[in-house]
């Protein structure tokens, strides 16, 4: 699997990430997702890449855009990140499950959720919140795993040392954080 690479937030989610630019119009509807799920039912999915709690993440390369990720629970797909579209099944929403999808898509795309050639993407308010939260979780998981965080990322959060994040969130919170556990294939 591609190693994790943490980019500054502005590169992680693209140059256009102002809350004033977010709109509910950019959210994928459940009807659109149903159509996408039909197509995804026909693709060949990889072996599980990562365990996130009781969920697994898989990828497929059925089309050239690549780094498309599915979230599975008990063998059933409950979410996906396809191209620039993020969706989680209504029964699984408000559980933070967009975060592992976002983080795996970013990992497979070289550190950013943007597909090749894209400099920005549009977000719904919930999508923007999920993406910024995912970025913060990537930092906290890096701290939990004792991985280095680039200075450019720390600068964007206006902190000098990752230990400042430990003080903000508390060591117990970071210790209990669910991070993607890579699976050996």
Reply yes or no on whether the pLDDT at 2 is more than 90: no
Each residue's pLDDT tens digit, 92-141:
999 999 999 999 999 888 888 887 777 778 889 999 999 999 999 999 99
pLDDT, position 52:
87
CA-based R_g, the chain, Å? 16
pLDDT, position 122:
84
Mean pLDDT of 43-70: 85
Say whether pTM exceeds 0.85: yes
Mean pLDDT of 153-174: 91
Q: Which residues contact 67 (CB under 8 A, 6 or more apart)?
A: 59, 105, 108, 109, 115
The rounded distance, in Å, linking the Cα atoms of 182 and 185 is 9
pLDDT, position 168:
92
pLDDT, position 151:
92
């Amino acid at each position: 699997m591609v190693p994790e690479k943490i980019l500054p937030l502005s590169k992680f989610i693209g140059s256009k990430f102002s809350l004033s630019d977010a709109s509910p119009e950019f959210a994928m509807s459940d009807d659109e997702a149903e159509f996408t799920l039909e197509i995804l039912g026909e693709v060949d999915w990889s072996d599980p890449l990562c365990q996130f709690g009781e969920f697994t993440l898989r990828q497929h390369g059925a089309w050239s855009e690549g780094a498309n990720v599915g979230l599975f629970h008990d063998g059933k797909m409950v979410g996906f990140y396809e191209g620039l579209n993020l969706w989680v099944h209504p029964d699984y929403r408000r559980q933070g499950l967009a975060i592992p999808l976002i983080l795996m898509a970013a990992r497979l795309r070289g550190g950013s959720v943007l597909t090749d050639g894209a400099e920005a993407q549009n977000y719904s308010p919930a999508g923007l919140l999920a993406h910024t939260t995912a970025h913060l979780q990537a930092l906290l998981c890096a701290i939990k795993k004792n991985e280095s965080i680039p200075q450019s990322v720390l600068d964007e959060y206006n902190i000098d040392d990752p230990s400042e994040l430990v003080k903000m969130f508390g060591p117990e919170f970071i210790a209990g954080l669910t991070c993607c556990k890579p699976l050996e294939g």
